[in-house]
Amino acid sequence: MKLSQKVSLVLAASLGLAAAALAASPSVSADQAINAEQAKTIALNDAGLSAGQIHSIKVHSDSDNDKPVFEVEFSSNDSDYDYTIDAATGFITEKDTDSHSNVNGSQKGLAKISANEAKNKALKDAGLNESRVSSLKVEADSDNDVPTYKIEFKYGKREYRYVLNALNGTITAKETN
């Protein structure tokens, strides 16, 4: 083999290895099926709000357990919202809602929905029914003097955690691992 052919072969092999290394390197953009704008839309739709109903919104890419995610934070007149959205699937893996409204002490302990209704709402949100889950726990609690229910359950290897406002039944926090 001539020297020029050997050099060409070595260069081609080097370029091939470099391309393979770049393709295998963890890159948030390569793993994303959705973009930041789509993550924003997913969060706003879940909150039941339009862009005109919010004051500020921040979207940034991050990673959670080496998986690319988008962190979406925004505020409306009555609440602050924080979402974590899987960048590969568009699935909401975590959400938290903090209400600005002041609930007076007379509302403390005045749950409008039952623990059973809260449980059913969390299961419905997860797309599951009670017979398919394990380790189901429902606990009455309060968050800033607002009565809440904390619901936890497992389905397969996934763990679900929900917090529901016991006054109006809204899901204020949701996490899936």
7-16, 82-91, 110-119, 136-145: lowest mean pLDDT where? Answer: 7-16
Return the sign of the alpha-carbon dihedral for residues 63, 67, 68, 70: negative
Indicate the pLDDT class of residue 17, thresholds 50, 70 and 90. very low
| Same domain assignment for residues 125 and 55 | no
* pLDDT tens digits, one per residue of 160-174: 999 999 888 899 999
Does residue 46 form part of some domain?
yes
Residues above pLDDT 90, as percent of the chain: 42
Per-residue pLDDT at 80: 83
Please identify, among 100, 132, 164, the residue that sits at the C-terminal boundary of a domain: 100
Share of the chain above pLDDT 70, in %: 76
pLDDT at residue 99 is higher than 60: yes
Inside any domain, residue 92:
yes
| pTM given for the model | 0.48
Instruction: Note down the domain range covering 121.
Output: 102-177
Residues 122, 67, single domain; the answer is no
Residue 56: burial class (beta carbons within 10 Å; 0-12, 13-18, 19+): exposed
Same structural domain for residues 96 and 108?
Answer: no
Query: What six digits make up the tokens of 175?
Result: 């996490």
The pLDDT value recorded for residue 14 is: 47
- In sequence order, which ranges of the chain are alpha helices (DSSP H)? 3-24, 28-31, 36-47, 115-126
Residue with tokens 């299961």: 123
Q: Each residue of 66-94: pLDDT tens digit?
A: 899 999 998 887 788 899 999 999 999 99
In-domain check, residue 12: no
Classify residue 10: in a domain, yes or no. no
Joined together, the tokens standing for residue 149 give 């229910």
Q: What is the pLDDT of residue 106?
A: 45
Residues 88 and 113 in one domain: no
Question: What's the total number of domains in the chain?
Answer: 2
